[in-house]
Amino acid sequence: MLLERYLESLGAHAIAEALDLDAPRPALIRPTQDAKFGDFQINGAMPLAKELRKPPRELAQPIAAALTGIDAIERAEVAGPGFVNIHLSPAWVAERLTDALRDRDRDGVPAVEDVSKVIVDFSSPNIAKQMHVGHLRSTIIGDAIARILSFLGDDVVRDNHIGDWGTQFGLLIVGMREWGDEAALQADPIKELERVYKLASKRAGGEEDFAQRARDELAKLQASDPENLELWKHFVQVSRGSLDAVYAELDVSFDLWLGESAYHEALPGIVEDLLGKGIAREDEGAVCIFWSETDDAPKSLRKQKTPFIVRKKDGAFLYSTTDIATVQHRKRQLHADRALYVVDNRQSLHFKQLFAVMRLLDVDMELEHIGFGTVLGKDGKPLRTRDASGGVITLASLLEEAKERARQRIEEGIAEGRLRVLPEEIGEVARVVGIGAVKYADLRQNRLSDYQFDWDKMISFQGNAGPYLQYAYARCASIFAKGGLEMDAIAESASIRLDAPAEQTLGKHLLRFGDVVYQAGATSQPHLICEHIYELARAFNGFYAECPVLDADEPTRASRLGLTALSARQIRRGLGLVGIGVVDRM
């Protein structure tokens, strides 16, 4: 059930009926600021005042009257300058919740009617370099978005557009011949590649001879020289191994790994096409798109002085060229309707330009940059993951630390009698809690803002943190365990009724889930789901504090068990949609 959508349509029809109009008008439904004024507010009378030449309060009166007889609505009243406050009928809400309880596949959330094929381009680290925290954000946010859209019914393709081609490989080839250590490469490939890359780029900076050798090797690689291709493949393969380990830990998967290298053969053709269509022109040997010369350039780019370069003077292609080829491929071969690029805000100019070029090329696809802010350290500066000796902390070791810290918190909780985890389950619970905490700390933020990385707030069983929500789920599950009951059996048989105020508060919150998931999907904002789940956990705790469940008499007992089951499932589903797991006992 999509509550807001349903009420919007009720409101729109009530307006037409009440004011004798020939078509429904927008009801402009909004949740009220304060529950004491009702649950939702209809603002649709206000904009009609001018057209109908009547004061809004006078229009609101018959609208409220028209809404009054409807099942879903207990009462509707005019308020303020002319809006209508509506109070939902608890009995009607309870029936909708019972429907949701029965619907174990979707928890009452309908699938989309028009399915789109959506590419989610996320994670996309550059191999031969340590994945940094920005790539961790992209991985976590992109995975959440892909999960949400898949659940809503879209045809989602997860693509890891890794940086596996480009000038760094010339340097790596000469560098590895010079300083490479195969054993180190096998043991920790990215570390070794990074070490050699740094040495090579330093030497190339001071020694023209060496720099030229690197360029020659790169040219050979790009011309498919077998030996260099072998070397390059080897670098890519070993790096894939360490990336895969991080993805497995994060429970993130991809449908495609079409990195930059996948498109290199298409690049000369892209440049020819842009030149042929007069979109790009040569400038001092390079091929560029000058926005100031482009008539149909978007407004925001007209004043952009630096051009979008698609081929350098030395003939090399760029990130921009590859991205153009990538969109073409996604359109022509994958028949995608949309592509979402989950990439750091700092690349927003790149994507603005890329999308403008695609419009100039008449590629009909919805392209969207899903940007995000920076992770900050406790000092408020961009987080540098370095250990005490100044070495880089790898993402793998960051995740290890998360698990270790979670284990400590769990052991404390057990010692203090707050948590109940069997000794043989501690490892698994620490994994789910530790990884979940890192993900939740990121996902609960509006992705566009920067946020501070803080272990203590992150791994907390109290505030707005992953462990708190996982604990709320386990608490629901424990009610069933204590009663010797199966959640699924209750879901089949229980009828929900909402009598006590705490039941009504919880029930109305539960009914918003569908709207929240739709909104999170439409705006690529996983934090909306986190917010909902956090509020839900609080509403559940309020309910649980006031309403006995197992000790209540029938039919209240079955109803409360039903509410508990639906709350548990919604927490589990909501966390699952953002890639966070739960455990039944803790």
**Residue 435 Cβ vs ligand ARG, minimum distance, rounded to whole Å:** 22
For ligand ARG, which stretch binds (CB under 6 A), given 26-34, 73-81, 119-127, 370-378?
119-127
497-508 exposure pattern, b = at least 16 Cβ within 10 A, e = fewer: bbeeebbbbbbb
Contact between 323 and ligand ARG by CB under 6 A: the answer reads: yes
For ligand ARG, which stretch binds (CB under 6 A), given 58-66, 75-83, 117-125, 528-536?
117-125
What is the distance between the alpha carbons of residues 144 and 223, in angstroms, rounded to a whole number? Answer: 39
For ligand ARG, which stretch binds (CB under 6 A), given 73-81, 120-128, 149-157, 273-281?
120-128
Contact between 126 and ligand ARG by CB under 6 A: the answer reads: yes
**Residue 163 Cβ vs ligand ARG, minimum distance, rounded to whole Å:** 4
**Residue 127 Cβ vs ligand ARG, minimum distance, rounded to whole Å:** 9
**Residue 424 Cβ vs ligand ARG, minimum distance, rounded to whole Å:** 40
Beta-strand relationship, 83-88 and 117-121: unpaired
171 or 563: whose CB is closer to ligand ARG?
171
121 or 442: whose CB is closer to ligand ARG?
121
**Residue 133 Cβ vs ligand ARG, minimum distance, rounded to whole Å:** 12
Contact between 121 and ligand ARG by CB under 6 A: the answer reads: yes
294 or 322: whose CB is closer to ligand ARG?
322
**Residue 123 Cβ vs ligand ARG, minimum distance, rounded to whole Å:** 8
Please give the backbone phi and psi of residue 495, each rounded to the nearest 5 degrees, phi first: -110, 130
User: Following DSSP, what letter does each residue of 295-337 receive, concatenated?
Assistant: TT--HHHHT--S-EEEE-TTS-B-HHHHHHHHHHHHHHTT--S
List, in sequence order, every residue forming a beta bridge with 158; answer none if it has no partner: 120
Among 26, 80, 163, 413, the residue binding ligand ARG under the rule CB under 6 A is 163
Element (H, E) at 339: strand 338-342
What does R_g of the chain's alpha carbons equal in angstroms?
Answer: 28
**Residue 177 Cβ vs ligand ARG, minimum distance, rounded to whole Å:** 26
For ligand ARG, which stretch binds (CB under 6 A), given 122-130, 192-200, 453-461, 491-499?
122-130
Query: How is the chain split among helix, strand and coil, in percent rounded to 5?
Result: 60, 10, 30
259 or 579: whose CB is closer to ligand ARG?
259
Q: How many residues bind to ligand ARG according to rule CB under 6 A?
A: 10
What is the distance between the alpha carbons of residues 105 and 111, in angstroms, rounded to a whole number? Answer: 11
Contact between 143 and ligand ARG by CB under 6 A: the answer reads: no
In this structure, what token pair is assigned to residue 161?
């557009």
**Residue 448 Cβ vs ligand ARG, minimum distance, rounded to whole Å:** 17
The 8-class DSSP code of residue 365 comes to: -
Contact between 369 and ligand ARG by CB under 6 A: the answer reads: no
Contact between 166 and ligand ARG by CB under 6 A: the answer reads: no
Under 8 Å between Cβ of 440 and 250: no
Site for ligand ARG in 54-93 (CB under 6 A): none
Contact between 343 and ligand ARG by CB under 6 A: the answer reads: yes
Among 124, 385, 460, 524, the residue binding ligand ARG under the rule CB under 6 A is 124
In this structure, what token pair is assigned to residue 53?
């030449």
- Residue 450 CA neighbour count, 13 Å, CB half: 12
122 or 440: whose CB is closer to ligand ARG?
122
What is the distance between the alpha carbons of residues 467 and 458, in angstroms, rounded to a whole number? Answer: 8
User: Following DSSP, what letter does each residue of 382-414 receive, concatenated?
Assistant: BP--B-TTSPBPPHHHHHHHHHHHHHHHHHHHH
98 or 126: whose CB is closer to ligand ARG?
126
Contact between 125 and ligand ARG by CB under 6 A: the answer reads: yes
- Residue 37 CA neighbour count, 13 Å, CB half: 14
Among 25, 147, 158, 161, the residue binding ligand ARG under the rule CB under 6 A is 161
In this structure, what token pair is assigned to residue 503?
């039941």
260 or 337: whose CB is closer to ligand ARG?
260
List, in sequence order, every residue forming a beta bridge with 342; answer none if it has no partner: 370
Among 139, 222, 326, 567, the residue binding ligand ARG under the rule CB under 6 A is 326
Counting other chains too, the contacts that 33-41 makes at CB distance below 8 Å and 24 or more residues apart are 35/505, 37/79, 37/85, 38/75, 38/77, 38/85, 38/86, 38/87, 39/86, 39/87, 39/88, 39/508, 40/4, 40/7, 40/85, 40/86, 40/88, 41/79, 41/83, 41/84, 41/85, 41/86
What is the distance between the alpha carbons of residues 563 and 569, in angstroms, rounded to a whole number? Answer: 10
**Residue 479 Cβ vs ligand ARG, minimum distance, rounded to whole Å:** 45
107 or 143: whose CB is closer to ligand ARG?
143
- Site for ligand ARG, rule CB under 6 A: 121, 124-126, 161, 163, 323, 326, 341, 343
